[in-house]
Amino acid sequence: MQPFAYYLFQEAEDMDMKEILAKCDHTLLKQTARWSEIKKLCDEGIENGCASVCIPPSYVRDAADYIRDKETKLKICTVIGFPNGYNTTKIKVVETEDAILNGADEIDMVINLGWVKDCRYDDIMDEIIAVKEACHGRILKVIVETCLLSQEEKIQMCNVVTKSGADYIKTSTGFSTDGATPQDIALFKANVGNNVKIKAAGGISSLEDADLMLKLGASRLGTSRIVPLFKDCLLYTSDAADEARSV
């Protein structure tokens, strides 16, 4: 029987791994995240050419200081109103301003899902606009938590995000009942405006998953698993080369 890394390698052979990694928001948002883990995340993000690291707000200043003198295009991304989204708009704006002051390049905010259920789409729009203004030109991604929405609600949120001026619509926090699905990425692609990009997040557990999400229209991937899978592929390749040389 072939080792697990062999099958990862076979998947990776048919994909542009640099393209996949370049669209990854390498993520660590667990409640117990330590600075040593965040620093390792930054190192991995730089080493593998990821788009950003997505980290808790309390580590933004440390991470921004850590990568400042390194030759990298890696961005610092953090989360607002996370993970439940029911903070007041004022608090989300203050969180955003604080994150930008600390060095965040990108903001991933969670919408108020109760407002979706109450059809308060104008209030959601106003909130996204307020947070976008607080970003001062930085990228804003809007997390709509698709697993908790009906099809109609997802379409409504595509319309709201398109009109709000936000840069991305994002599927999930990764802290609810499900993550990104191919069906939701396809729905987003069919319903957002040309000014809005798509971030698939949550449950992306294989290189095949990542490749599929990109092919369906995602421009970013929120995941903690792709970099470790890629490292497994490199390790398998190295071991295979050593074995070949020894024959």
Positions of the chain with pLDDT under 50: 1-10, 12, 14, 238-245, 247
Q: Which of 174, 78, 171, 158 is nearest to 125 (CA)?
A: 158
- Per DSSP, helices labelled H in 104-224 are 113-117, 121-134, 151-164, 182-191, 207-216
Q: What is the pLDDT of residue 232?
A: 79
Q: What is the pLDDT of residue 236?
A: 53
Tens digit of each residue's pLDDT (9 = 90 or more) over 94-105:
999 999 999 999
Consecutive H or E run containing 65? helix 60-67
Judge contact between 234 and 4, C-beta under 8 A: no
Consecutive H or E run containing 226? helix 226-246
Judge contact between 245 and 21, C-beta under 8 A: no
Q: Which of 50, 88, 81 is nearest to 67 (CA)?
A: 50
Catalytic residue numbers read 108, 170, 199
Q: Record the pTM.
A: 0.90
